[in-house]
Structure 1
Amino acid sequence: MKDKNIIWHNFFQKETKKKYFIRLIEKIYIDIKNNNKIIYPKKKYIFNIFKKINFNNLKVVIIGQDPYYGVNQANGFAFSVMPKIKIPPTLKNIYKAIKYDIPSFIIPNHGYLINWVNEGVMLLNSILTVEKGKPQSHANIGWEIFTNNVIKIINFYYKNIVFLLWGTYAKKKHILITSDHLILTTSHPSPLSFHRGFNFCKHFSKTNKYLILHKKKPINWNISLI
């Protein structure tokens, strides 16, 4: 198998030199230094998913919108929070749906999803930063261009990836994905739309059936307790 790290190294080298990306980083820098705005996640976590995922073991992509905007919540993984931080309602609902789908799943006592990342699940927010207390405050400043290009890279260089698109926003990303992959869609797991399909979607067992069908190791959705 060709080393996928080379592909990603080349991607980042080229992408970070583009004008839109330079302007994006400059805006965030100015907001922090000159305008005294608090931006989440912390600088060291903004690209955390790209640092932690094993690109040669990528199997699943779950697309979120933007990071949690509360203190010490965001850690660079979509839907995940830092260890010992209260589990957000949306993530609680994800756990409920897994438990319904896979009865052996043990609902964890925290929301740090590093285990999923280690299993080959890319938890990708479309927007990678947010201003404290202001959801979607960094929409349309360039992040969507960057993460759309990430999805395009995955779509082109990988085969048989499972894309989980939850909610209206994520579903729009289907136009970037070809039939070489499996796309599963349903409502968003937030309390407002959990009961519109997400609770009974069974995306987690469906993902594993697809991976097994294509001779890949299934995802262990269980998360170690803290």
Structure 2
Amino acid sequence: MPTSDSLDSDALFDLEPVPAEAVGFAELARLPLTELVAPDWAEALAPVEGPLREVLEFLSREVAGGHAVLPPASNLLRAFRQPLADVRVLIVGQDPYPTPGHAVGLSFAVDGSTRPIPRSLANIYKELDADLGLPPRIHGDLSRWADQGVLLLNRVLSVRVGEAGSHRGKGWEAITATAIGALANRVTANGVPVPLVAILWGKDAEAVRPLLGSTPVIASAHPSPLSAARGFFGSRPFSRANTLLQEQGDGTVDWELPPLP
């Protein structure tokens, strides 16, 4: 069984998950920031390194106290393995799915083998079909979006199994706010803003709007079954995001996912 001592220093940067047993929250708390996230994210998150370590220590105590925590430590900071410089679209979620086996460190995504997919994700696929005519998939692997610079970031990056929202107010909000601010404040060598579109689904996501400055925002209700019919369906976020990217000279995202992961 591999341990944290046997991990390559850059293994955590792979988008494919590290085996869940490879590292624990206590080990994460002791690793240098540059081994937890991509190098440019390490620089951006340096101002909140202390709070991040406090959250990691809190998660270690949760586990020691007998609470199961999601996602596994190996995927906790997965969203930040994608280089900051590559991000073109930001999709903000709330907190991870609390169902065992669902949370993979990317908002709204699940492991490709998970069946059935969560209902919020099924609604995202319905809107993707209505918006761009792309057929819904039976799997929830969204890594192809991440590969194209779509940052799937929850406001809170952990949760107790079976207790949605249980890790809100534990420090994650300040960390993800710093990350979002770093994205919005990127400029080229000529001082021109780096292309970015933010997609905000639900009230928790909308709360980050003040952090985004002049970044174009697409906001609607959350895709949850409780709210999707109140403004998510019909919002056309995917085509609108592509139009806004093109207006900034940054091409488009191919939102079609492979039939199988």
TM-score scaled by length of structure 2: 0.79
Q: Mind listing any 5+ residue stretches in structure 1 that lack a counterpart?
A: none
- Residue 23 of structure 1 and its aligned partner are, at CA, apart by 2.2
8 Å contact 1:155–1:178 — kept in the other structure? Answer: yes
User: Which aligned segments of 4 or more residues in structure 1 are displaced greater than 4 angstroms?
Assistant: none
Residue 218 (structure 1) aligns with: 252
Shift of 1:50: 1.1
Residues in 1 aligned to 2:42 and 2:207: alpha-carbon distance in whole angstroms: 27
Q: 2:131 aligns with which of 101, 113, 126?
A: 101
Partner of 2:11: none
Identity of aligned residues (%): 29
Which one has more relative contact order, counting CA pairs under 8 Å at least 6 apart?
A: 1
Secondary structure class of the residue paired with 1:224: coil
Indicate the residue corresponding to 1:29 in structure 2. Answer: 60
The CA deviation at 1:6 is 5.3
Counterparts of 1:125-144 in structure 2, within 5 Å, are 125-144=154-173
Q: Is the 8 Å Cα contact of residues 160 and 182 (structure 1) preserved in structure 2?
A: no
Match of 1:171 among 206, 213, 231: 206
Q: Is the 8 A contact 2:195 2:250 kept in 1?
A: no
Match of 1:209 among 230, 240, 243: 243
Instruction: Quote the RMSD (CA, aligned, Å).
Output: 1.4
Question: How many angstroms apart in 2 are the aligned matches of 1:54 and 1:23?
Answer: 24
1:146 to 152, 175, 188: 175
CA deviation string 1:17-69 (max 9, x = no partner):
x2x33322111101112x11100000000001111x24332110000010001
Which residues of structure 2 form unaligned runs of 5+?
1-37, 188-193
Work out the CA distance in 1 between the residues paired with 2:108 and 2:232.
Answer: 15
2:147 is the alignment partner of 1:114:
no
Give the secondary structure class of the aligned counterpart of 2:207.
helix
Contact residue 195 and residue 249 of structure 2 kept, 8 A: no
Amino acid at match of 1:10: E
Structure 1: distance between partners of 2:48 and 2:131: 39
**2:90 touches 2:151 (CA, 8 Å); kept in 1?**
yes
Shift of 1:84: 1.2
Report how far residue 13 of structure 1 moved. Answer: 4.2
- Kept after mapping to 2: 8 A contact 1:61/1:123: yes
Task: Provide the secondary structure at the position in 2 that maps to 1:63.
Answer: strand
Q: Which amino acid in structure 1 is aligned with residue 126 of structure 2? A: K
Q: What is the alpha-carbon distance in structure 1 between the residues aligned to residue 136 and residue 47 of structure 2?
A: 41
Q: Distance in 1 between matches of 2:48 and 2:204?
A: 24
Query: Structure 2: which amino acid aligns with 1:212?
Result: Q
User: Could you tell me how far apart the structure 2 residues matched to 1:44 and 1:125 are?
Assistant: 16
CA distance in 1, matches of 2:206, 2:257: 26
SS in 1 for 2:208: helix
Cα distance in 1 for partners of 2:67, 2:247 equals: 48
Deviation of 1:14 (Å): 4.4
Deviation sequence 1:98-143 (CA, Å, 0-9, x none)? 111101x121120111011011100000100000000010000000
Specify the alignment match of 1:200 in structure 2: 234
Q: How many residues align?
A: 216
Q: 1:182 aligns with which of 194, 201, 216?
A: 216
Report the CA distance between 1:155 and its aligned residue.
Answer: 1.0
Q: Which amino acid aligns with 1:11?
A: A
CA distance in 2, matches of 1:30, 1:56: 34
Which stretch has the larger CA shift, 159-168 or 88-97?
A: 159-168
